[in-house]
Copies of this chain bind each other. A is one copy, B any other.
Amino acid sequence: MEKFKVTFHPDNKTIEVAKDTTILTAAVSAGIYINSNCGGDGVCGRCKVIIKSGKVITQPTGIITLEEKKKNIYLACLSVIQSDLEVEIPQESRLSLEGLTPQEIHARIKEIYSDAEEVEPAKARIGKDIFTYSPLTTKLYLALPKPDLNDKVSDLERLYRQISRSQDIPVLHTGLSNIRQLGELLRDADWKVTVTLGKREGATEVVLVEPGDTSARNFGFSFDIGTTTISGQLVNLNTKEIIGTKATYNKQITFGSDVITRIIYAREQEGLEKLHLAVIDCMNQIIQELTEEHKIDLNDVASLVAAGNTTMIHLLLCIDPTHIRKEPYVSTSNFTPTIRASEIGVRINPRGLLACVPGVASYVGGDVTSGVLSCGLDRESELGVLIDIGTNGEIVLGDREFLISCAASAGPAFEGSGVSSGMRAAIGAIQKVKIDTRHLEVHYETIGSVKPRGICGSGYIDIISGMLKAGLLDKSGKIKDVSHKRIRDAEFGKEFVVAFKEENGASSDIVISEADIENIKRAKAAIYSATACLIRHMKLDFKEVKKIFIAGGFGTYLDVDNAVNIGLLPDVERKRFIFVGNSSLAGARQMLLSYEALEKAAEIARKITYFELSIEPGYMEEYMAALFFPHTDLLRFPGVKYSNHN
């Protein structure tokens, strides 16, 4: 097979690939992350690259303009390599953290996510008084009585006997590999050993036997497997202390930015395996970096709890997710067995246990169960609602008596996808915006305080709210005909310039178009109307909802007033809103530290009724009515007032 050398710039990374490989695949192999929201279908136009030298065969596409063609710009996904190649990957085509060293990326992400952790009120609820401390794996040091002619019980039964003497345990068992090494190990260790006990399917097993007293070294990981971001937390299981938290992009992004694209990709040849390996790779990266930084031996990590949406958990375990997106939208498993981490290639102690948080339904996964557990919705005496805002918005309504959930397909706009200058909430994203009502001056803050590279969800909310307040938008989201340098005609309708290219040094202005506003409007309408519909379905009213927990992508920053202003959140007393940040990760940590919490999560998952919005009469009307700013029914938003710009 013919092979060619491909060099990527400005990274200056060279890789050898077979003839007919796409540039996108070559880039991934070289460890370079290119945007590819459509999963390589040549549709999203986000993977533009410049070919400096060499030959490719490409497919005709309307996404590349004639002008771009002249500049040797190609779609990486559609162009197959025919010779040695020199390729430049422009900043806009890169996943937004690219260009930084891994250390820098992690430093920055840590910065962002440590903020998120700090604002996380779910933390305040983790305490001895809520769940009994009983980690997924515990260590127990044992000095066994040596066998003699009067005490000839076998090695394994001797071990079990001593464990039973130390604590009250239901069923004990272990695997052959432990038994095979037991005879020598016990004698070499002079009968002084440490056992790691793990809980699986309601029983207790001996996960490990180690010589000597290693009971002081007992660590675990909790993980939130997000569609966009994977976050992991290293926890000292003895002290409950969080040793470190790291997050990384989910490498699956290369195969599509939302779960539907990935489910489709999973049917490609080796698609499922690639998606599976991508998430495992991310987890191993976080595990390796955190354990190395904190000088912890991987063998001392024997448990991991992962929360994620149903598709993410299927991909994590390499289970085909196809049927999640086919009517009647049934997943293969919402309750997956606790397995050995090594079964799926997660690199902790090879005999270590890995549990996934049980999910409710195909579009209400274990991340939601985990969120409910950690915000304590299921323990509330007063009515509350948890709104997890993401590409798929999940809403849970209830209290200690009942829990009901639904999912709304909000689209990826709040995550910066499908919008012209959109980007994820990462370094360089405009996340906080104020528009001066009189002069239309725009004041913004970016994540990491660097030059702006795009707009993330919270930025869009602020901008639209600001435009509404300034009277630049009509109720339907059309930009009014105002004479100002920031407002101009574009190919389809008008656009508003948030940051001129002079400010950011990029090749184009950062703008919000009428199409973008339409996308955000649909997203906010989907979430608001789903919440409203769920509440109405239960014959309740927003006024009766005492606590509104907001979770998800807005963990870092969200202006509640602006969110109410655009009609995303209901117009109720602001003190009812509680930000819970990454509630999924917080819940997974609770389950890592308490088997009771893990069992509670199963109970919660079973308790939550799944309410199918799409077949609910009146949902469409509710949704249509929400397709205005703030809403068709202004009585629902009595506090919202927009001015008219003149």
Instruction: Using CB atoms and an 8 Å cutoff, list the residues of chain A in contact with chain B.
Output: 147-149, 151-158, 171, 173-176, 179-180, 182-184, 187, 201-203, 317-320, 322-323, 327-337, 339, 343-344, 361-362, 610, 612, 615
Most-contacted residue by chain B among A148, A151, A179, A334 (CB, 10 A):
A179
Q: How far is the CA of A203 from the CA of B334 in the complex (A)?
A: 20
Q: Quick one: which of B176, B328, B331 contacts A148, CB cutoff 8 A?
A: B328
* Cβ–Cβ < 8 Å partners of A158 in chain B: 330
Provide 14 A-B residue pairs closer than 8 Å at the C-beta atoms, listed in order of the A residue: A147-B328, A152-B328, A154-B334, A155-B332, A155-B333, A156-B332, A156-B333, A156-B334, A156-B336, A157-B333, A171-B201, A176-B344, A179-B332, A183-B323
Q: How far is the CA of A597 from the CA of B546 in the complex (A)?
A: 58
Evaluate contact between A180 and B328: CB separation under 8 angstroms.
no
Minimum C-beta distance from A317 to chain B (A): 6
Q: Quick one: which of B151, B201, B319, B327 contacts A179, CB cutoff 8 A?
A: B319
**Closest chain B residue to A334, Cβ basis:** B154
Minimum C-beta distance from A316 to chain B (A): 11
7 closest A-B pairs by beta carbon, nearest first, are A156-B333, A183-B332, A147-B330, A155-B332, A154-B331, A154-B334, A173-B201
Q: Quick one: which of B175, B318, B333 contacts A154, CB cutoff 8 A?
A: B333
* Cβ–Cβ < 8 Å partners of A612 in chain B: 149, 152
* Cβ–Cβ < 8 Å partners of A176 in chain B: 317-319, 336-337, 339, 343-344
Q: How far is the CA of A334 from the CA of B147 in the complex (A)?
A: 15
* Cβ–Cβ < 8 Å partners of A322 in chain B: 183
Given A202-B171, A610-B152, does the pair A157, B339 have CB atoms closer than 8 Å? no
* Cβ–Cβ < 8 Å partners of A156 in chain B: 332-336
Q: How far is the CA of A154 from the CA of B321 in the complex (A)?
A: 11
* Cβ–Cβ < 8 Å partners of A180 in chain B: 317-320
Evaluate contact between B202 and A154: CB separation under 8 angstroms.
no
Minimum C-beta distance from A406 to chain B (A): 12
Evaluate contact between A149 and B333: CB separation under 8 angstroms.
no
Evaluate contact between A155 and B323: CB separation under 8 angstroms.
yes
Q: How far is the CA of A322 from the CA of B343 in the complex (A)?
A: 31
* Cβ–Cβ < 8 Å partners of A151 in chain B: 328
* Cβ–Cβ < 8 Å partners of A153 in chain B: 330
Q: How far is the CA of A83 from the CA of B176 in the complex (A)?
A: 43
Evaluate contact between B202 and A330: CB separation under 8 angstroms.
no
Minimum C-beta distance from A55 to chain B (A): 41
